[in-house]
Structure 1
């Protein structure tokens, strides 16, 4: 298959971002950006991505969609929301991390992660460093946030982390951020990055693409 054929299939079959799966309508606005941060925290432990997105939906359904709402919520309410999504083993520590992280966002960036981006001067490495100051978010979590946020923060593009590039190499695609960025329109970078990660997590999906 050609590069165009593979990328087209990736986008059509696996190109749903994790923000979309979590019910986040991502925009360059404080609330959806914070919701993406919550999802990032949930994905930053060894847990199934589907469980993490379900947990995000439960938290949002409970009204915890902004840093103020999260900071003001009771710890037990956060634990209960995570429990409804079967986010086990990490529910109590994650409930604590979410509360602490919300307070940090309020104190450092006045509840608006666009101020974090401005502080980083739109530099991906600087942004990743600031993200890692949020409780529970490490290098992998910072990559998750940037992969998704590039949908609304164009100056992050093309953001394809090592995981996405490794999968791309296995599929015979360009396997550098710049090379992958040239393979699809820039507005599809976040979707392609998500698709590559999804395929990397599914041996069956990878085999289907390689066999076609």
Structure 2
């Protein structure tokens, strides 16, 4: 029994721990991305974000990302070496068919934007302080296909790697509220194990 909490009543920590046990992987991890402060995994997160920025399920976006990475397109250079048809076919194999042709084009445009603007390295966008999440989201939203909602997905996933935690966007906070968890970002983040705010953010979204 927790002090001040009747036996049998779940505390916020109890709920958070259960949600993490049942859903505690980030979307990047689901897509096979070992997220680090390095150009290739950061680019892979950008690809996943691009795929998730359409009216399509998160599971399909993750499956499509895995298919693209399996094809070897884990860097902007390798993506640009692929053909449009190859990308369409890979997306089709993941059943990402509703947006396969337009997304194949947007992935190329995004890789070119990254190469031409940031020399292929998203670390150029890393904020200099923990308060730079909004500035980062604005920069990510400038990439083809990725708007404000998609940009928040990127920031939510990269927050622990880049020291931006806590970053809990509207979707994560709304999901937390449905689960009976705090909807204040800092209070919610305190329920996550150290360095795992991104996992908690993804877990609450998956849980509702």
TM-score under structure 2 normalisation?
0.92
List structure 1 segments (4+ residues) > 6 angstroms apart after TM superposition.
Answer: 119-122
Please report how far the alpha carbon of residue 136 of structure 1 lies from its aligned counterpart in structure 2 after TM superposition.
0.5
Map 1:102-113 → 2, pairs under 5 A:
102-113=111-122
- Which residue, out of 157, 163, 171, partners 1:163? 171
1:180 is matched with which residue?
A: 188
SS at match of 1:64: coil
* Distance verdict in 2 for CA 1:63–1:130, change over 3 Å: same
- Which residue, out of 25, 38, 52, partners 1:16? 25
Matched-pair contact (CA < 8 Å) for 2:16–2:192? yes
Distance, in Å, in 2 between the alignment partners of 1:75 and 1:82 is 11
Distance, in Å, in 2 between the alignment partners of 1:188 and 1:10 is 13
* Distance verdict in 2 for CA 1:52–1:183, change over 3 Å: same
Matched-pair contact (CA < 8 Å) for 1:67–1:103? yes
List gaps (5 residues or longer) in structure 1. 201-212
Deviations 1:86-123 (A, max 9, x none): 10110000000000000000111111101022589861
1:56 aligns with 2:65: yes
2:157 is matched with which residue?
A: 148
* Distance verdict in 2 for CA 1:72–1:119, change over 3 Å: farther
Aligned length: 199
Aligned-residue Cα RMSD (Å) equals: 1.5
TM-score under structure 1 normalisation?
0.90
- Which residue, out of 101, 107, 118, partners 1:98? 107
1:125 is matched with which residue?
A: 134
Larger Rg: 2
Distance, in Å, in 2 between the alignment partners of 1:132 and 1:122 is 18
Distance, in Å, in 1 between the alignment partners of 2:130 and 2:30 is 29
* Distance verdict in 2 for CA 1:70–1:122, change over 3 Å: farther
